[in-house]
Amino acid sequence: MHQDIERVLISEAQILAGIERLAEQVTGLYEGSEFTVVSVLKGSCIFASDLIRSIPIPLELAFVAARSYGDRTEAGELVIDLVPAGNEIEGKRMLLVDDILDTGQTMQRLKTELLERGATDVKTCVFLDKPARRALEFEADLTAFEVEDLFVVGYGLDFAGRYRNLPYVGVLKPEVFEER
Ligand code: IMP
Ligand code: MG
Protein backbone atom coordinates (compact mmCIF):
# COMPACT_ATOMS: atom_id res chain seq x y z
CA MET A 1 0.00 0.00 0.00
CA HIS A 2 2.71 2.52 0.99
CA GLN A 3 4.46 1.98 -2.33
CA ASP A 4 1.40 3.41 -4.12
CA ILE A 5 1.91 6.80 -2.45
CA GLU A 6 3.82 9.46 -4.37
CA ARG A 7 4.19 11.84 -1.42
CA VAL A 8 2.97 12.37 2.10
CA LEU A 9 0.93 15.55 2.44
CA ILE A 10 0.11 15.43 6.17
CA SER A 11 2.20 13.24 8.48
CA GLU A 12 0.94 11.30 11.50
CA ALA A 13 2.54 13.84 13.85
CA GLN A 14 0.91 16.75 12.01
CA ILE A 15 -2.45 14.97 12.13
CA LEU A 16 -2.18 14.47 15.91
CA ALA A 17 -1.36 18.15 16.44
CA GLY A 18 -4.31 19.14 14.24
CA ILE A 19 -6.67 16.89 16.19
CA GLU A 20 -5.54 18.42 19.50
CA ARG A 21 -6.18 21.92 18.17
CA LEU A 22 -9.63 20.96 16.92
CA ALA A 23 -10.55 19.10 20.11
CA GLU A 24 -9.84 22.25 22.14
CA GLN A 25 -12.11 24.26 19.85
CA VAL A 26 -14.91 21.69 20.11
CA THR A 27 -14.55 21.61 23.89
CA GLY A 28 -14.80 25.41 24.01
CA LEU A 29 -17.93 25.36 21.86
CA TYR A 30 -19.83 22.76 23.88
CA GLU A 31 -18.49 23.03 27.43
CA GLY A 32 -21.48 22.93 29.78
CA SER A 33 -24.01 21.70 27.20
CA GLU A 34 -25.00 18.31 25.85
CA PHE A 35 -24.10 17.45 22.29
CA THR A 36 -23.83 14.57 19.85
CA VAL A 37 -20.96 13.94 17.47
CA VAL A 38 -22.36 12.61 14.19
CA SER A 39 -19.71 10.79 12.19
CA VAL A 40 -20.28 10.53 8.44
CA LEU A 41 -19.45 6.99 7.33
CA LYS A 42 -17.27 5.66 6.06
CA GLY A 43 -14.65 8.34 5.55
CA SER A 44 -14.74 10.06 8.94
CA CYS A 45 -14.58 6.94 11.14
CA ILE A 46 -10.87 7.30 11.90
CA PHE A 47 -10.91 11.07 12.29
CA ALA A 48 -14.02 10.98 14.50
CA SER A 49 -12.65 8.26 16.76
CA ASP A 50 -9.37 10.14 17.30
CA LEU A 51 -11.17 13.45 17.76
CA ILE A 52 -13.67 12.30 20.38
CA ARG A 53 -10.95 10.70 22.48
CA SER A 54 -9.25 14.10 22.73
CA ILE A 55 -12.44 15.82 23.91
CA PRO A 56 -12.64 15.68 27.73
CA ILE A 57 -16.34 16.64 28.12
CA PRO A 58 -19.41 14.36 27.86
CA LEU A 59 -20.78 13.66 24.41
CA GLU A 60 -22.89 11.12 22.58
CA LEU A 61 -21.96 9.46 19.31
CA ALA A 62 -24.15 8.80 16.26
CA PHE A 63 -23.55 7.86 12.64
CA VAL A 64 -24.89 8.81 9.26
CA ALA A 65 -23.89 7.21 5.99
CA ALA A 66 -23.87 8.94 2.65
CA ARG A 67 -22.40 7.98 -0.67
CA SER A 68 -22.23 9.73 -3.98
CA TYR A 69 -22.71 7.89 -7.20
CA GLY A 70 -19.55 8.14 -9.23
CA ASP A 71 -17.29 5.77 -7.37
CA ARG A 72 -13.98 7.17 -8.53
CA THR A 73 -12.61 10.65 -7.99
CA GLU A 74 -15.63 12.62 -9.14
CA ALA A 75 -18.67 13.33 -6.96
CA GLY A 76 -22.06 12.31 -8.32
CA GLU A 77 -25.62 12.33 -6.97
CA LEU A 78 -25.79 11.93 -3.20
CA VAL A 79 -27.65 9.08 -1.52
CA ILE A 80 -28.21 8.96 2.26
CA ASP A 81 -28.07 5.35 3.47
CA LEU A 82 -28.33 5.75 7.24
CA VAL A 83 -29.65 8.34 9.69
CA PRO A 84 -29.94 8.07 13.49
CA ALA A 85 -33.34 7.24 15.03
CA GLY A 86 -35.71 10.18 15.59
CA ASN A 87 -35.13 10.32 19.35
CA GLU A 88 -31.38 10.57 18.75
CA ILE A 89 -31.88 13.73 16.65
CA GLU A 90 -34.90 15.61 18.03
CA GLY A 91 -33.95 18.43 20.35
CA LYS A 92 -30.23 17.66 20.12
CA ARG A 93 -27.24 19.85 19.42
CA MET A 94 -25.19 18.03 16.81
CA LEU A 95 -21.65 18.28 15.50
CA LEU A 96 -21.51 16.73 12.04
CA VAL A 97 -18.02 15.34 11.35
CA ASP A 98 -16.70 14.40 7.91
CA ASP A 99 -13.35 13.52 6.35
CA ILE A 100 -13.30 16.22 3.68
CA LEU A 101 -15.28 19.20 2.48
CA ASP A 102 -15.00 19.09 -1.28
CA THR A 103 -17.89 20.38 -3.43
CA GLY A 104 -19.87 20.87 -0.19
CA GLN A 105 -22.79 18.72 -1.34
CA THR A 106 -22.50 16.05 1.37
CA MET A 107 -22.23 18.36 4.36
CA GLN A 108 -24.93 20.72 3.15
CA ARG A 109 -27.39 17.88 2.47
CA LEU A 110 -26.71 16.14 5.77
CA LYS A 111 -26.92 19.35 7.80
CA THR A 112 -30.30 20.17 6.22
CA GLU A 113 -31.49 16.60 6.83
CA LEU A 114 -30.63 16.70 10.55
CA LEU A 115 -32.26 20.11 11.00
CA GLU A 116 -35.40 18.91 9.20
CA ARG A 117 -35.52 15.91 11.52
CA GLY A 118 -35.53 18.16 14.57
CA ALA A 119 -31.94 18.85 15.62
CA THR A 120 -31.85 22.21 17.41
CA ASP A 121 -28.40 23.15 16.20
CA VAL A 122 -26.01 21.56 13.69
CA LYS A 123 -22.37 22.62 13.44
CA THR A 124 -19.88 21.08 11.03
CA CYS A 125 -16.33 19.88 11.52
CA VAL A 126 -14.08 18.49 8.79
CA PHE A 127 -10.65 16.95 8.81
CA LEU A 128 -9.75 18.44 5.41
CA ASP A 129 -11.07 21.38 3.46
CA LYS A 130 -10.49 21.67 -0.28
CA PRO A 131 -11.91 25.17 -0.97
CA ALA A 132 -10.85 25.18 -4.64
CA ARG A 133 -13.46 22.51 -5.38
CA ARG A 134 -16.48 24.14 -3.75
CA ALA A 135 -19.59 24.03 -5.97
CA LEU A 136 -21.94 25.74 -3.51
CA GLU A 137 -21.64 28.28 -0.73
CA PHE A 138 -20.79 26.23 2.30
CA GLU A 139 -18.09 26.56 4.94
CA ALA A 140 -17.39 24.23 7.85
CA ASP A 141 -17.45 25.70 11.34
CA LEU A 142 -14.24 23.84 12.22
CA THR A 143 -11.44 22.53 9.99
CA ALA A 144 -8.21 20.71 10.84
CA PHE A 145 -6.31 21.25 7.57
CA GLU A 146 -6.79 22.99 4.26
CA VAL A 147 -5.50 21.13 1.20
CA GLU A 148 -4.88 22.13 -2.39
CA ASP A 149 -6.91 20.73 -5.27
CA LEU A 150 -5.44 17.20 -5.26
CA PHE A 151 -7.11 13.82 -4.77
CA VAL A 152 -5.81 12.56 -1.43
CA VAL A 153 -6.05 9.24 0.42
CA GLY A 154 -5.42 7.91 3.91
CA TYR A 155 -6.66 8.57 7.44
CA GLY A 156 -10.15 7.46 6.37
CA LEU A 157 -10.10 8.79 2.82
CA ASP A 158 -10.30 6.19 0.07
CA PHE A 159 -9.69 5.67 -3.59
CA ALA A 160 -12.12 3.01 -4.92
CA GLY A 161 -12.55 1.71 -1.36
CA ARG A 162 -8.86 1.38 -0.53
CA TYR A 163 -6.21 3.26 1.46
CA ARG A 164 -8.49 4.30 4.36
CA ASN A 165 -6.11 2.56 6.76
CA LEU A 166 -3.04 4.62 5.86
CA PRO A 167 -2.05 6.49 9.04
CA TYR A 168 -1.13 9.67 7.09
CA VAL A 169 -2.63 11.65 4.21
CA GLY A 170 -0.93 11.19 0.87
CA VAL A 171 -1.19 11.61 -2.86
CA LEU A 172 -1.33 8.50 -5.04
CA LYS A 173 1.10 7.86 -7.85
CA PRO A 174 -0.54 8.68 -11.22
CA GLU A 175 -0.16 5.07 -12.42
CA VAL A 176 -2.41 3.87 -9.56
CA PHE A 177 -5.29 5.92 -10.98
CA GLU A 178 -4.63 4.62 -14.46
CA GLU A 179 -4.61 0.97 -13.36
CA ARG A 180 -8.17 1.10 -11.97
P1 IMP B 1 -18.51 16.66 -1.34
O2 IMP B 1 -19.90 16.18 -1.15
O3 IMP B 1 -18.19 16.95 -2.78
O4 IMP B 1 -18.09 17.79 -0.43
O5 IMP B 1 -17.54 15.43 -1.10
C6 IMP B 1 -17.36 14.87 0.09
C7 IMP B 1 -16.98 13.43 -0.09
O8 IMP B 1 -16.25 13.16 -1.30
C9 IMP B 1 -16.07 13.04 1.03
O10 IMP B 1 -16.79 12.60 2.15
C11 IMP B 1 -15.20 11.99 0.40
O12 IMP B 1 -15.81 10.71 0.58
C13 IMP B 1 -15.16 12.30 -1.08
N14 IMP B 1 -13.91 13.00 -1.45
C15 IMP B 1 -13.78 14.26 -1.85
N16 IMP B 1 -12.51 14.58 -2.12
C17 IMP B 1 -11.78 13.47 -1.86
C18 IMP B 1 -10.36 13.17 -1.92
O19 IMP B 1 -9.47 13.98 -2.25
N20 IMP B 1 -10.03 11.90 -1.56
C21 IMP B 1 -10.94 10.96 -1.17
N22 IMP B 1 -12.26 11.21 -1.08
C23 IMP B 1 -12.67 12.45 -1.43
MG1 MG C 1 -15.28 8.48 -0.21
Q: Which residues surround ligand 2, an ion (CB under 5 A)?
A: 43
Helices of type H across 75-129: 86-89, 105-116
Q: What is the pLDDT of residues 4-19, one digit of tens each?
A: 999 999 999 999 999 9
- Which of the 8 DSSP states describes residue 34? -
Query: Closest by alpha carbon to 25, among 124, 101, 109, 104?
Result: 124
Return the CATH number at 83.
Answer: 3.40.50.2020
Specify the ligand 1 atom closest to the Cα of 42. Answer: 12
Is 102 one of the catalytic residues?
A: yes
CA–centroid distance, 157 to ligand 2, in Å, is 6
Domain that holds residue 48: 18-149
> What is residue 70's predicted lDDT score, i.e. its pLDDT?
63
Q: How far is the CA of 33 from the centre of ligand 2 (A)?
A: 32
pLDDT at 71: 56
Instruction: Flag whether 78 is in a domain.
Output: yes
Ranking 55-59, 99-103, 139-143, 174-178 by mean pLDDT, the lowest is: 174-178
> Residue 95 has what pLDDT?
98
Number of domains into which the chain is organized: 1
- Distance in Å from the first CA to the final CA of the chain: 15
pLDDT tens digit sequence for 36-63:
999 999 999 999 999 999 999 999 999 9
Ligand 1 nearest-atom number relative to CA 75: 3
Q: Is the pTM of this model over 0.85?
A: yes
For residue 54, is it within any domain?
yes
Give the single-character DSSP code of 154.
Answer: B
